[in-house]
Amino acid sequence: MDAAIARAADLIVAEFPRLEGRFLTADTALPDLQIDSLDKWQLVVAAEQAHGIDIEDAEVEEIATVGNLAQVIAARTARPRGPVDNPALYRDAEADGVAQLPEDAA
């Protein structure tokens, strides 16, 4: 998680250069950095653009620390596990027009 905290801290400093040189930890509260609710939305938009993710409005309201921001970004950028990782493991019969009935399978 340290890498996620570092990425969140880098994002914060990139958006708010006045914070350059500040030591940010997971527990650093955004209000302590003079980041108000409008600034927090600016930060979220920057995170969405930087990582190609969408952050739900309800999640934004829960972001109060650098660690919270890191967790939200990490959760949204985590790679899915399972067949989605390897489409060769499954096929969509309806998509390719060849539906297989249960009695045909064997």
Exposure of 37 by Cβ count < 10 A (0-12 exposed, 13-18 middle, 19+ buried)? exposed
Name the more confident of 68 and 2. 68
Whole-Å CA distances, 14 to 7, 66, 77, 78, 85:
10, 14, 19, 22, 32
Return the pLDDT at 24.
95
Exposure of 53 by Cβ count < 10 A (0-12 exposed, 13-18 middle, 19+ buried)? middle
Tell me the CATH number for domain 2-85.
1.10.1200.10
pTM check: above 0.85: no
Name the more confident of 15 and 105. 15
Per-domain residue ranges for the chain? 2-85
pLDDT of 94 > 90? The answer is no
The pLDDT tens digits of the residues spanning 60-91 come to 999 999 999 999 999 988 866 555 555 555 55
β-partners of residue 42 are none
The pLDDT tens digits of the residues spanning 9-37 come to 999 999 999 999 999 999 999 999 999 99
Report the distance separating Cα 3 and Cα 36, nearest Å: 25
